[in-house]
Amino acid sequence: MNYPNGKKAATQVQLRTSKPTTTFSNRGMSLEEDINNTNIYYRTANVAIIHKKPTPVQIVNVNYPKRSAAVITEGYFKQASTTDYNGIYRGTYVDFEAKETKNKTSFPLNNVHEHQINHMRSIVEHNGICFLLIRFAAYNETFFLPAMKLFSYWDSQFKGGRKSIPYQDVKEISVEVPMNYPAQVDYLKVIDQLYF
């Protein structure tokens, strides 16, 4: 039926010609979100004080279309960041980096940067607790890798060694972090096991 304006009426029923596609995006929270929620729980329960470090950014240009709607249009990182998280637990300084990989067979070392390794070495030299949390997204497994064990793999790549840590090695040299509620990534349990 045509309406007076000459346009056809929209049909009420549409036939599906193909199956709906299944999407697995956003199935779970990212490692960073899980850690942030865990840290909130730790602070609320007065167990530890661990925070995500802010990334130092220099704002260069801001657009003010309205006073209440300022938009940053240009900025840059002031300096290379060190690690993602730091704080204190049981009177000891804690510092760590969190990395998530979709790789099923290994953890690529190019996910970590030289300035982060140098920072981690300094923490270890000063008797702080320093580690890397690695999540293999394909298996939904998170591992606690002490920085000292990371250093040998890092150094080896510059002497002709692998540029990644095989998944099997990660399983052997790390401790799998329990996923609980409300501590979604309960890395303090691993710190208790390894350091206290």
Nearest to 55 by CA among 29, 30, 35, 85: 85
Is 24 part of any domain? Answer: no
pLDDT score at 77: 60
Token pair 């953890």 is found at 107
Question: Residue 110 sits in a domain of what CATH number?
Answer: 3.40.1350.10
Is 12 part of any domain? Answer: no
What confidence category does residue 118 fall into, taking pLDDT thresholds of 50, 70 and 90?
very high
Measured between alpha carbons, how far is residue 194 from residues 26, 94, 182 in Å? Answer: 33, 13, 22
Q: Which pair of structure tokens corresponds to residue 184? A: 């979604």
pLDDT digits (tens, 9 = 90+) for 60-100: 777 777 767 777 777 766 556 788 899 999 999 999 999 99
Is 125 part of any domain? Answer: yes
Sign of the CA dihedral 47, 53, 54, 58? positive
Helices (H), the chain: 31-44, 114-125, 147-156, 167-173, 187-195
Q: 165 is in which domain, residue-wise?
A: 31-50+60-195
pLDDT score at 24: 36
H or E element, residue 90? none
Is 84 part of any domain? Answer: yes
* Residue 175: strand, helix, or coil: strand
pTM of the model: 0.76
Give the Cα separation of 95 and 88 in Å (integer): 9
When divided into structural domains, the chain yields a total of 1
Is 20 part of any domain? Answer: no
183 pLDDT higher than 60 = yes
Amino acid at 107: F
Sheet containing 92-101: which strands, arranged edge to edge? 49-52, 85-89, 92-101, 129-136, 141-146, 175-176
pLDDT digits (tens, 9 = 90+) for 122-161: 999 999 999 999 999 999 999 999 999 999 999 999 999 9
pLDDT score at 44: 97
103 pLDDT higher than 70 = yes
Burial 5-16 (b: 16+ CB within 10 A, else e): eeeeeeeeeeee
Instruction: Taking residues 163-168, report their average pLDDT.
Output: 97
Is 7 part of any domain? Answer: no
Is 18 part of any domain? Answer: no
Least confident range from 13-27, 31-45, 173-187: namely 13-27
27 pLDDT higher than 70 = no
Is 25 part of any domain? Answer: no
